[in-house]
A and B are shown apart, each in its own frame.
Chain A
Amino acid sequence: MLVTINGKQFEAEAGQTILQVARKHGIYIPSLCYHEKVGAAGKCRVCVVEVEGMRGLQTSCSVVVREGMTVSTRTEKAIQAQKLVVDLLLSSGTHDCLACAQNGKCELQDAAYYLDIEHPTLVFADMEPHCDESSEFIKVDHNKCISCGRCVAACQKTVTNDVLDFGYRGANTEIVFDDGKKMGDSTCVQCGECVQICPVGALTEKSVKGKARYWETERVKSVCPYCGVGCSMEIHVDRKLNKIVRVNGVESSPVNEGMLCVKGRFGYDFVDHPERLTTPLIRNDDGSFRKASWDEALDLVSTRLTEIKTKHGPDKIMGMSSAKVTNEENYTFQKFMRTVIGTNNVDHCARL
């Protein structure tokens, strides 16, 4: 079907909302509580637009398009309403972007920029800091929370861990863990789905603080090195420092739909750990190791394996391959054992 948005006609599919059609065609409508994964919540009222023939403003995240619908996202009335909501949200929290880990990927920041809000109209006295840093990997800053509910929906409906919810009432409403525990004391398994779906800086990875900003990192697609599920992940890399800054799940992956677990999202310290092996090592007679060049080490391996093969036969040599290295490396390993050593003694720890 055809719908008109801001005077231009676009192709749309039945069942799509105005926001979905607009996004698909690159038209920005500020929105906060909607995320494609958890669907429309219709809570934040930032995405309001005018629709011909409908009274009042409509939330574009929840109104489904109809043939011939005419939508305006930038009328004075719509912009004024969008602005009012964003302005009030900015007033009622501590949205200081300078030291915020979400800077550059914050949907509230984007909305404020689009709506040209430099300072909130209402300025309250400084708020008491209200952070929860009890969790090992995740920081909660309640003063940055806009109560959009995306994290609550994700925890309950996507990863189905049922930890996050809204607690308290009215102006005191905030996200709570279990029945109001500190995050670190709750049953939270720290999968980090809430961090990935949070539109603002309320839920962030503790480890990213002070590291490269979103726009400074390169995104590299990879697969989690832990269990066999094979979650697709996007590694954010600081090229200058040769370091991983953060890891996100790939939302479009049919394997994990953006989800990761605590190991996949946070467990990469081993990569640049100081104990990593950086040179070949050869054992001394007293049992200690000395550093060696590749040439020396491989000469020794080549000589000893050849001696043993000649003296005892190839079947006295065993190769243990690995379920943690790539297909290519398993292939070259078994090829080495079969063609160079001459044995089928090759296995890995599938059973262990």
Chain B
Amino acid sequence: MAGLAATFGSGAMTNDIAGMTKSDVALIIGSDTSEAHPVISARLKRATKDGMKLIVIDPKKIKMADYADIYACQRPGTDVAVLNGIMHLIIKNGWEDKEFIEERVEGYEALKAEVEKFTPEYVEQISGIPAKTLEQIAEMYGRAPTGALYYAMGITQHTTGVDNVKSTANLQMLCGNMGKVGGGVNPLRGQSNVQGACDMGALPVVYTAYQAVTNADVKDKYEKFWGCSLNAANGLPMTVAIDKAYEGEMKAFYVMGENPMISDPDLHHAEEAFKKLEFLVVQDIFLTETAKLAHVVLPASTWPEKLGTFTNTERKVQLLEKAVDAPGEAKDDWVIHQMLANKMGQKWDYNSADDIFSEIARCTPSYAGMTYNRLRQAGLHWPCPTVEHPGTPVLHIGRFTRGKGMMFAIPFKAPAEVPDAEYPIYLTTGRVLQQFHTGTMSRKSKGLNNLAGPSVMVSVEDAEAMGVSNSQMVRVTTRRGSIVTKAFVTKRMPKGTAYVPFHFAEAPANVLTNNALDPVAKIPEYKVCACKLEKA
């Protein structure tokens, strides 16, 4: 999100889901769409049947590649080189949108100079994508009137995550694909309300709607609004806080509805960190791996048990009505916050989620025009500044949030860890369709568990080299740890790259992953590290 905020002034998916079938060409890079966002993949697959061209670039030959006009397999962590290479060819052939660049973009000359050296041959050396294929991609994408770009964690979970995101934005501005239906930079968000959690200021540097905590005017506004004095210093991102806890610098964590003991990179490190805390409170629906380390565990209600709103990947705020009662004494998370705040001397007085939403609308410009009454009729895309405003399905029409769009010259940087003699295989991680995130919800379903258990996807060549066939056990080892899990031998993996889904506590991918972080976004490099594979 940091990457898009710097580029456009707003870090979110720029276009809406309904418009996804209106593109001439779509480029999917770093999103296993049919596994992680199945309903969006359905629309894109349908669009290909109606004539939309599709380009897929992914180290794994994902299902979407079966529907693609061009599929290219890059080495993990080489996205900047690939995107720079595409832009090199587009500029060289004059397919860029000159008018758009002239009117709406700054930084073009620097970008042009940077991509100059990314010839197809040079990109082939770095990424492994044949020069010819890159030329085909550039021509198909560069010549199309409207192209949409889709990505997910395959772009962001890198030490160069912000660089990768900025490169996708560069490409879309270069082709004039911004601010129109069927175009856009579209990061597909992975959790039901991850967009909302960001919008609501559950981030260390911003209040709601990305209002910076270090901005004195904003702080002043919130001090008046909440009637108290506020801290002017940026807080810590979770990944950094865990490192500091490991060093004994943090004393207490209050964890709500997250399971960092599965999702955090380098789990052994995280466990040590949590054990060093003087006090850990976990508020969740199950005794998760993280809750087991807590001093106090608070039982919360879950999705169908409460009234409230989620904001989806396309910035659409939608209402959830309460369907069933929570078990036992479990309570809505906001009720627990209010009880605790009042124990600590506050006078919070919310009677329902609706009360809270009204307060949100008063301090959050992009939600200002939303009410429960409106949301009961239909969801609304932010920004929705007034009660008459219909919402904004497509961002940046005519003008970027920050004025002109900013192009950045992005040099290629290799991932923090690449294969070597000792650890010769690329390891990358991700999701499978039938499971979700840390498994707190999906792994409680017998049916879903029957459909998908832990495994490591390996190429036919690598499986043969270790003498392993389907379903035999394999040991996957990195510099951080080791797991033993079933081999899923598949032609979808290229030689030299293995894939481990991260949902499974019994074979946790994040024992293996590298906790090297992007310097700006502080996101860990889950998508690339080096491993070795052995028959177990």
Binding site for B on A (CB under 8 A): 136-137, 157-161, 189-191, 220-232, 235, 237, 242-244, 254-256, 259-263, 266-273, 275-283, 289, 292, 294, 297-302, 304-306, 308, 311-312, 314-340, 342-352
Contact of A331 with B359 in the complex, beta carbons under 8 Å: yes
Interchain CB contact under 8 A, A158 and B444: no
Nearest-neighbour CB distance to chain B for A330, whole angstroms, equals 4
Contact flag A277-B299 (CB < 8 Å), given A230-B192, A305-B252, A346-B235? yes
CB nearest to A259 among chain B residues: B39
Asked if B356 and A324 make an inter-chain contact with CB atoms under 8 angstroms apart, the answer reads no
Chain B proximity of A158: nearest CB distance (Å): 7
Give complex CA distance A41, B93 in Å: 47
Q: Determine whether the beta carbon of B328 is less than 8 Å from that of A314.
A: no
Evaluate whether A336 and B321 lie within 8 angstroms (CB atoms) in the complex, with A304-B279, A344-B235 already known: no
Q: Give the segment of B103-111, B116-124, B139-147, B199-207 that binds chain A.
A: B199-207
- Contacts of B230-244 to chain A: CB distance below 8 A: 230-231, 233-239, 241
With an 8 A cutoff between CB atoms, is B193 at the interface? yes
In the A-B complex, the 4 residue pairs with the smallest Cβ-Cβ separation, listed nearest first, are A278-B328, A230-B312, A326-B308, A322-B257
- Encoded as 1 (CB less than 8 Å from any A CB) or 0, chain B from 363 to 386 comes to 000000000000000010000000
Q: Give 23 A-B contacts (CB < 8 Å), ordered by A residue.
A: A189-B34, A220-B304, A223-B318, A227-B36, A244-B304, A259-B42, A267-B442, A270-B444, A280-B329, A281-B297, A301-B254, A306-B344, A320-B256, A322-B197, A325-B197, A325-B333, A326-B196, A326-B306, A327-B310, A327-B311, A328-B356, A329-B334, A350-B194
Q: Which residues of B contact A266 (CB under 8 A)?
A: 445, 447-448
Q: Is the Cβ of B18 less than 8 Å from the Cβ of A190?
A: no
A220 touching B323 by the CB < 8 A rule? yes
Whether, in the assembled complex, B198 has its beta carbon less than 8 Å from a beta carbon of chain A, the answer is: yes
Q: B434 contacts A263, CB within 8 Å?
A: yes
| Residue B278 interfacial (CB < 8 Å) | yes
- Give residues 170-216 of B contacting A (CB, 8 Å): 188-205, 207-208, 213
Give a binary string over B1-21; 1 marks a CB under 8 Å from any A CB, 0 the rest.
100000000000000011000
> Which single residue of chain B is at the shortest CB-CB distance from A218?
B323
**Alpha-carbon gap, A333 to B523, bound state (A):** 22
Q: Are A244 and B324 in contact (CB under 8 A)?
A: yes
Given A226-B441, A324-B257, do A263 and B436 touch, yes or no (CB 8 Å)?
Answer: yes
Q: Which residue of chain B is the closest to A292 with respect to CB atoms?
A: B296
Complex contact A318–B236 (CB within 8 A)? yes
Q: State the CA gap A269–B447 with chains docked (Å).
A: 9
How far, in Å, is A295 (CB) from chain B's closest CB? 9
Looking at the assembled complex, report how far the CB atom of A280 sits from the nearest CB atom of chain B, in whole angstroms. Answer: 5
Distance in Å: Cβ of B256 to nearest Cβ of chain A: 5
A229-B286 contact, Cβ under 8 Å, with A339-B230, A351-B157? no
**Looking at the complex, which of B125-133, B335-343, B399-407, B453-461 is the stretch in contact with chain A?**
B335-343
Interchain nearest-CB distance for B164 vs A (Å) = 13
Residue of chain A at shortest CB distance from B50:
A157
Contact A338 B329 (CB under 8 A): no
A347/B235 in contact, CB under 8 A: yes
- With both beta carbons as reference points, the residue of chain B lying nearest to A275 in the complex is identified as B286
Give B242-286 as 1s and 0s: 1 = Cβ < 8 Å from A's Cβ atoms.
Answer: 000100011111111110100111000000000000110100111
C-alpha gap A326/B300 in the complex (Å)? 12
Judge whether A336 and B156 touch: CB under 8 Å.
no
Do residues A331 and B279 form an inter-chain contact, with CB atoms below 8 A?
A: no
Contact A230-B310, Cβ < 8 Å, known A235-B323, A302-B344: yes
Contact B296 A225 (CB under 8 A): no
A256 smallest CB distance to B (angstroms): 5
Q: With A and B bound together, what is the CA distance between A300 and B298 in angstroms?
A: 12
Closest to B48 in A: A160
Distance between Cα atoms of A282 and B294 in the complex (Å): 8
Q: How far is the CA of A297 from the CA of B184 in the complex (A)?
A: 48
Q: With A and B bound together, what is the CA distance between A329 and B413 in angstroms?
A: 39
Cβ-defined contact, A346 with B451, below 8 A: no
| Known interface pairs A160-B42, A297-B298, A327-B200; A229-B312 also in contact (CB < 8 Å) | yes
- Give CA–CA (A216, B190) in the complex, Å: 35
Question: Is B224 interfacial (CB-CB < 8 Å)?
Answer: no
Which residues in A have their C-beta under 8 angstroms from that of B235?
Answer: 315, 343-347
Given contacts A160-B42, A327-B360, A352-B260, 9 further A-B contacts (CB under 8 A): A222-B304, A228-B37, A272-B324, A283-B296, A305-B344, A317-B252, A325-B257, A326-B196, A330-B202
Nearest B-chain residue to A296, judged by Cβ: B296
Contact partner, B324, options A243, A297, A332, Cβ 8 Å: A243
Q: Tell me the total A-B contact number using a CB cutoff of 8 A.
A: 458
Cβ-based interface call for B114 (8 A): no
Bound state CA distance, A302 and B336, in angstroms? 12
Query: Chain A residues with Cβ under 8 A from B294's Cβ?
Result: 281, 283
Decide if B321 touches A221 in the complex (CB within 8 Å): yes
Complex Cα distance, B503 from A345, in Å, reads: 27
Number of B interface residues at 8 Å Cβ cutoff, please give it: 146
Choose one: B238, B299, B319, B324; the contact of A320 (CB below 8 Å): B238
Partner of B313, one of A137, A228, A322: A228
| A136–B203 touching, CB < 8 Å | no
Q: Are A352 and B192 in contact, CB atoms less than 8 angstroms apart?
A: no
Closest to B44 in A: A160
- Which residue in chain A gives the minimum CB-CB distance to B16? A254
Beyond A230-B192, A277-B287, A333-B202, whether A189 also contacts B433 by CB under 8 A is yes
Shortest Cβ distance from residue A271 to the other chain B in the assembled complex, whole angstroms: 6
Chain B residue with the shortest CB-CB distance to A324: B257
**A330-B197, A332-B338 given; A280·B192 CB < 8 A:** no
- The answer for the CA separation of A231 and B43 in the assembled complex, in Å, is 13
CB distance from B44 to the nearest CB of A (A): 8
Q: Is the CB of A340 within 8 A of B344?
A: yes
Say yes or no: is B46 at the interface (Cβ < 8 Å to chain A): yes
Among B36, B250, B324, the one with the most A-chain Cβ atoms within 10 Å of its Cβ is B324
Complexed CA–CA distance, A325 and B353 (Å): 12
Contacts A327-B357, A329-B308 given: A277-B285 contact, CB under 8 Å? Answer: yes
Report the minimal beta-carbon distance from B41 to chain A, rounded to whole angstroms.
Answer: 8
Is B392 among interface residues, defined by CB-CB distance under 8 A?
Answer: no
| A329-B308, A330-B197, A349-B263 as given contacts; A272 in contact with B327, CB under 8 Å | yes
Flag if B444 contacts A269 (CB, 8 Å).
Answer: yes
B316 touches A318 (CB 8 A): no
**Neighbouring B residues of A319 by C-beta, 8 Å:** 253-256
> How far is B433's CA from A280's CA once the two chains are assembled, in angstroms?
33
Q: Is the CB of A262 within 8 A of B444?
A: no
The answer to whether A352 touches B344 (Cβ under 8 A) is no
Do residues B299 and A229 form an inter-chain contact, with CB atoms below 8 A? no
Q: How far is the CB of A211 from chain B (nearest CB, A)?
A: 14
Determine whether the beta carbon of B328 is less than 8 Å from that of A279. Answer: yes
Asked whether B445 lies within 8 Å of A323 as measured between CB atoms, the reply is no
CB atoms of A263 and B236 under 8 A apart: no
Please name all residues of chain B whose beta carbon is closer than 8 Å to the beta carbon of A327 when the two chains form the complex: 193, 196-197, 199-200, 308-311, 317, 357, 360
Shortest Cβ distance from B457 into chain A, in angstroms? 17
Given contacts A275-B444, A306-B344, contact A226 B321 (CB under 8 A): no
- Chain B, Cβ-Cβ closest to A266: B447
Q: Would you call A320 and B260 a contact (CB within 8 A)?
A: yes
Interface flag for B521 (CB, 8 Å): yes
B481, chain A: closest CB distance, angstroms? 17
B11 to nearest A CB, angstroms?
Answer: 10
Q: Is the CB of A222 within 8 A of B323?
A: yes
Measured in the bound complex, the distance between the Cα atoms of B336 and A228 in whole Å is 25
Is residue B45 contacting chain A, with contact meaning CB distance below 8 A? yes
Chain B residues, CB < 8 A from A231:
39
Known: A226-B442, A263-B434. A280 touches B38 (CB 8 A): no
Inter-chain CA distance A314–B232, complex, in Å, is 12
